[in-house]
Amino acid sequence: MVAVRIIDPTPSWRLSVIVSPRTLNPRGAEAAAMVLADVIRNMVSGGFWRAELLA
């Protein structure tokens, strides 16, 4: 197996974390989402995940 860059059309998407308004621990869910975003940001910045970060 090999990775092949898709160029035409180049796919784009936004990664989102969705939390139910009925969650029992909204602060915990927010903290988990922030940790996930930080891990992804570090992976992209470090070149481990090929993506572009939005401003």
Residues 1 and 43: their CA atoms lie apart, in Å, by: 23
Inside any domain, residue 33: yes
Q: Which residue, 38, 19, 15, 16, is CA-closest to 28?
A: 19
Q: Where are the alpha helices (DSSP H) in the chain?
A: 26-45
pLDDT digit string, tens, across residues 37-51: 899 899 999 999 888
Who wins on pLDDT, 32 or 1? 32
Domain membership flag for residue 28: yes
Tens digits of residue pLDDT in 5-39: 778 887 777 778 888 889 899 899 999 989 998 99
Domain span at residue 42? 22-49
| Contact (Cβ atoms closer than 8 angstroms) between residue 20 and residue 6 | no
Q: Where are the beta strands (DSSP E) in 1-55?
A: none
d(CA 46, CA 6): 22
* Verdict on whether the full-model pTM lies above 0.75: no
| pLDDT for 53 beyond 90 | no
Task: Tell whether 29 is covered by a domain.
Answer: yes
